[in-house]
Amino acid sequence: MSENILVQINEIVDKYIRPALQADGGDIEIVDFRDNTLSVRLQGACSCCPHAQMTLENAVGNTIRQAVSQDIIVRSV
Protein backbone atom coordinates (compact mmCIF):
# COMPACT_ATOMS: atom_id res chain seq x y z
CA MET A 1 0.00 0.00 0.00
CA SER A 2 2.75 2.51 0.84
CA GLU A 3 4.26 1.90 -2.61
CA ASN A 4 1.01 3.01 -4.20
CA ILE A 5 0.89 6.10 -1.98
CA LEU A 6 4.51 6.92 -2.83
CA VAL A 7 3.64 6.81 -6.54
CA GLN A 8 0.80 9.27 -5.89
CA ILE A 9 3.09 11.52 -3.85
CA ASN A 10 5.72 11.55 -6.60
CA GLU A 11 3.07 12.50 -9.15
CA ILE A 12 1.86 15.42 -7.00
CA VAL A 13 5.42 16.56 -6.33
CA ASP A 14 6.33 16.45 -10.03
CA LYS A 15 3.15 18.16 -11.19
CA TYR A 16 2.59 20.86 -8.57
CA ILE A 17 5.30 21.23 -5.96
CA ARG A 18 8.57 20.86 -7.87
CA PRO A 19 7.71 23.43 -10.59
CA ALA A 20 6.83 26.01 -7.93
CA LEU A 21 10.06 25.41 -6.02
CA GLN A 22 12.16 25.43 -9.18
CA ALA A 23 10.64 28.76 -10.19
CA ASP A 24 12.27 30.19 -7.05
CA GLY A 25 15.63 28.45 -7.58
CA GLY A 26 14.94 25.46 -5.36
CA ASP A 27 13.90 21.86 -5.59
CA ILE A 28 12.76 18.95 -3.44
CA GLU A 29 14.06 15.43 -2.95
CA ILE A 30 11.89 12.65 -1.55
CA VAL A 31 14.14 10.77 0.82
CA ASP A 32 11.84 8.19 2.41
CA PHE A 33 8.22 7.26 3.02
CA ARG A 34 7.48 5.01 5.97
CA ASP A 35 4.60 4.74 8.46
CA ASN A 36 2.73 7.65 6.82
CA THR A 37 5.76 9.91 7.29
CA LEU A 38 7.27 11.49 4.20
CA SER A 39 10.86 12.61 4.63
CA VAL A 40 11.98 15.26 2.16
CA ARG A 41 14.98 17.47 1.62
CA LEU A 42 14.57 20.97 0.24
CA GLN A 43 17.38 21.85 -2.14
CA GLY A 44 18.92 24.86 -3.83
CA ALA A 45 17.61 28.24 -2.75
CA CYS A 46 14.88 26.54 -0.71
CA SER A 47 17.37 24.75 1.54
CA CYS A 48 18.59 27.94 3.18
CA CYS A 49 15.55 30.15 2.76
CA PRO A 50 14.18 31.71 5.95
CA HIS A 51 10.73 30.56 4.83
CA ALA A 52 11.75 26.91 4.34
CA GLN A 53 9.69 25.63 7.27
CA MET A 54 6.61 27.47 6.05
CA THR A 55 7.17 26.11 2.55
CA LEU A 56 7.47 22.61 3.96
CA GLU A 57 4.30 22.88 6.04
CA ASN A 58 2.12 24.87 3.65
CA ALA A 59 3.22 24.22 0.11
CA VAL A 60 4.47 20.67 0.47
CA GLY A 61 2.53 19.23 3.39
CA ASN A 62 -0.87 20.71 2.66
CA THR A 63 -0.69 19.92 -1.05
CA ILE A 64 0.21 16.29 -0.43
CA ARG A 65 -2.36 15.85 2.33
CA GLN A 66 -5.14 17.35 0.18
CA ALA A 67 -4.26 15.25 -2.85
CA VAL A 68 -3.28 11.94 -1.25
CA SER A 69 -4.19 11.50 2.43
CA GLN A 70 -4.79 13.72 5.46
CA ASP A 71 -2.79 11.23 7.55
CA ILE A 72 0.58 11.96 5.90
CA ILE A 73 3.19 13.74 8.00
CA VAL A 74 5.88 15.64 6.11
CA ARG A 75 9.24 16.28 7.72
CA SER A 76 12.51 17.73 6.57
CA VAL A 77 15.75 15.77 6.87
Half-sphere exposure of 52 (CA within 13 A, CB side): 18
The reported pTM is 0.89
Kindly report the backbone phi and psi dihedral angles of residue 40, in degrees, each rounded to the nearest multiple of 5, phi listed first.
-130, 160
Q: Report the CATH number of the 2-76 domain.
A: 3.30.300.130
Q: Per residue in 14-52, pLDDT tens?
A: 999 999 999 999 999 999 999 999 999 999 999 998 999
What Å distances lie between residue 54 and 3, 6, 62, CA to CA? 27, 22, 11
Where do the domains of the chain lie? 2-76
Mean pLDDT of 44-61: 92
* CA 55/CA 57 separation, integer angstroms: 6
